[in-house]
């Protein structure tokens, strides 16, 4: 039985709902992946057709993606009581196929971070080791999927936020081609880089969700859906990037094992050289923070969200609202963004970063003349322990090196579980040319036996039987 079949109809069955609720409650006590959840079947439309592919199947939604009547906090105090008046297109597409959003998952505030510890509202724990982070920024989505609370969840990926927590928690994480999925209803962090992505327990589920949410939406003029003639054939040649360095021993070992595995499946492996990748992190943080400074200017306390009170002028009210409402990482990025955009200095930072972005995109274009997909690590380490010995905030940013390149280039990439080392999962990513998701699924399937033991001990699916 496929995974989705085993969840089919769940929220239409009172007895199962009861068992499900108990399971979620017992796991949530340990991992806290949801900021809010409602497991009662009430969102399943009464006249919903039992033959729909996602009928009665629960899923999680990162809390920067709108679902009507659920809160939309973005993990921030500035929106902590804000209830969404509408539903994002990606969520709506799934609801139309019978799926039911059961909760909003925790995240780094506005998607800024790699651990989910930047959430102002909740600490989430890695289902493999509770003292470790679940990665970020879609950490709650990844943890809930890995722990079997939902078969899939939506996340967003601006610089790695779907793939990185997927590899920390041991599930699949697809960052689609830029524009394949509508961003309508996704709270903007860096609009030119981000896309709604999928965290899935297996490849077929991830693929089914992708095919449902990929859609040309008139509410998002940058959306395409899936184009005709998309590269969907199997790969023959897989590229590995010359510049890969700085991996922990566990990641390095798994990377080499994956390369060997690809060779044993008959793929030719070639080394590709994209010199501009050296500048991924500075280019990413220049462009992302510039866009963030503009996108987050809307949070003033005037129209919605938190408002600081007892202030006599509007100017002071806005300043106090933003000062009290945003966390430190968000403030840092707004300041950095306004710094790189200030008049007279754009050539030095923002425009330079755009030139690097073009060079990276062209570098990938050239590479895809030599290979069909690229294999790369996702992150230099496995999930790190919270507190002492933790990666510094700066080191976490430098570690976006492997993932943010796909966002700068707009190309698809999927994190796949490739094993367990020292009690924690490891993941690698497969990147491809624009709209090559289908090809990525094909190669991922050939590697899927590497993922078969990547199941956290906490997971129990017996309640579903």
**217 part of the interface to ligand GLN, by CB under 6 A:** no
- Residue 336 Cβ vs ligand GLN, minimum distance, rounded to whole Å: 11
Of 21, 115, 114, 102, nearest to 61 by C-alpha is 102
Q: Catalytic: 161?
A: yes
- Residue 111 Cβ vs ligand GLN, minimum distance, rounded to whole Å: 3
What strands, in cross-sheet order, belong to the sheet with 373-377? 34-37, 100-105, 58-62, 152-157, 195-200, 172-175, 413-421, 424-431, 373-377, 237-241, 268-272
DSSP H helical ranges for 270-415: 280-295, 314-325, 328-341, 350-370, 393-398, 404-409
If the CB atoms of residues 32 and 115 are measured against ligand GLN, the closer one turns out to be: 115
Catalytic annotation, pick one of 32, 76, 161, 167: 161
Instruction: Identify the three-state secondary structure at position 257.
Output: helix
If the CB atoms of residues 400 and 438 are measured against ligand GLN, the closer one turns out to be: 400
**Contact residues for 138 (Cβ-Cβ < 8 A; gap 6+):** 62, 105, 107, 111, 153, 155, 156, 157, 161, 162, 165, 173, 197, 199
E-strand stretches of 133-230? 152-157, 172-175, 195-200
**73 part of the interface to ligand GLN, by CB under 6 A:** no
Q: Catalytic: 137?
A: yes
Of 313, 289, 288, nearest to 301 by C-alpha is 313
Contacting ligand GLN (CB under 6 A), which of 159, 165, 337, 380?
159
Instruction: Identify the three-state secondary structure at position 18.
Output: helix
How many positions of this chain bind ligand GLN (CB under 6 A)?
13
- Residue 168 Cβ vs ligand GLN, minimum distance, rounded to whole Å: 12
Spatial separation of the C-alpha atoms in residues 194 and 171, rounded to whole Å: 20
Q: Catalytic: 413?
A: no
Residue with tokens 């992190």: 281
**111 part of the interface to ligand GLN, by CB under 6 A:** yes
Stretch that binds ligand GLN, among 75-83, 110-118, 340-348, 423-431 (CB under 6 A): 110-118
Per-residue x/- marks for ligand GLN, 273-302, CB under 6 A?
---------------x--------------
Catalytic annotation, pick one of 48, 84, 137, 156: 137
If the CB atoms of residues 113 and 127 are measured against ligand GLN, the closer one turns out to be: 113
Of 262, 271, 245, nearest to 380 by C-alpha is 245
Q: Are 320 and 94 in contact (CB under 8 A)?
A: no
Catalytic annotation, pick one of 16, 62, 175, 397: 62
**321 part of the interface to ligand GLN, by CB under 6 A:** no
- Residue 5 Cβ vs ligand GLN, minimum distance, rounded to whole Å: 32
If the CB atoms of residues 90 and 235 are measured against ligand GLN, the closer one turns out to be: 90
**161 part of the interface to ligand GLN, by CB under 6 A:** yes
Active site residues: 62, 137, 161
Residues that bind ligand GLN (CB under 6 A): 111-114, 137, 157-161, 189, 288, 400
């Amino acid at each position: 039985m496929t995974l989705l079949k085993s969840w089919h109809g769940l929220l239409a069955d009172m007895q199962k709902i009861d068992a499900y609720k108990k399971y979620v409650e017992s796991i949530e006590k340990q991992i806290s992946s949801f900021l809010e959840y409602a497991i009662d079947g009430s969102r399943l439309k009464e006249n919903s057709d039992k033959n729909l592919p996602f009928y009665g199947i629960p899923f999680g939604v990162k809390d920067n993606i709108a679902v009507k009547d659920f809160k939309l906090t973005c993990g921030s105090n500035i929106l902590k009581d804000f209830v969404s008046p509408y539903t994002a297109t990606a969520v709506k597409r799934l609801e139309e196929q019978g799926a039911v959003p059961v909760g909003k998952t925790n995240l780094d505030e506005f998607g800024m971070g790699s651990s989910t510890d930047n959430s102002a509202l909740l600490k989430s724990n890695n289902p493999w080791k509770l003292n470790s982070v679940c990665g970020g920024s879609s950490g709650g989505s990844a943890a809930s999927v890995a722990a079997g609370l939902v078969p899939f969840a939506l996340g967003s990926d601006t610089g790695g936020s779907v793939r990185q927590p997927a590899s920390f928690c041991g599930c699949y994480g697809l960052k689609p081609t830029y524009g394949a999925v509508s961003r309508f209803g996704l709270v903007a962090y860096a609009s030119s880089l981000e896309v709604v992505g999928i965290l899935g327990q297996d490849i077929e589920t991830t693929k089914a969700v992708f095919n449902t949410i990929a859609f040309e939406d008139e509410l998002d003029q940058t959306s395409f859906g899936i184009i005709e003639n998309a590269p969907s054939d199997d790969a023959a040649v897989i590229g590995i990037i010359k510049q890969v360095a700085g991996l922990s021993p566990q990641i390095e070992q798994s990377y080499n094992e994956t390369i060997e595995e690809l060779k044993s499946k008959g793929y030719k492996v070639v080394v590709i050289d994209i010199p501009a990748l050296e500048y991924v992190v500075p280019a990413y943080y220049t462009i992302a923070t510039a866009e963030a400074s503009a996108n987050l200017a809307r949070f003033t306390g005037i129209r919605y969200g938190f408002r600081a009170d007892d202030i006599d002028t509007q100017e002071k009210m806005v300043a106090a609202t933003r000062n009290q409402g945003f966390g430190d990482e968000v403030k840092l990025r707004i300041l950095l963004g306004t710094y790189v955009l200030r008049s007279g200095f754009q050539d030095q930072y923002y425009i330079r970063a755009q030139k690097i972005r073009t060079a990276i995109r062209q570098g990938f274009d050239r590479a895809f003349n030599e290979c069909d997909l690229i294999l790369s690590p996702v992150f230099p380490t496995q999930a790190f322990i919270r507190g002492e010995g933790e990666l510094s905030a700066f080191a976490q940013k430098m570690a976006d090196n492997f993932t943010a390149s796909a966002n700068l280039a707009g190309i698809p990439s999927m994190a796949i579980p490739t094993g367990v080392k020292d009690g924690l999962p490891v993941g690698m990513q497969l990147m491809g040319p624009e709209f090559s998701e289908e090809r990525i699924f094909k190669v991922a399937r050939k590697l899927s036996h590497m993922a078969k033991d990547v199941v956290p001990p906490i997971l129990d699916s017996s309640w579903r039987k």
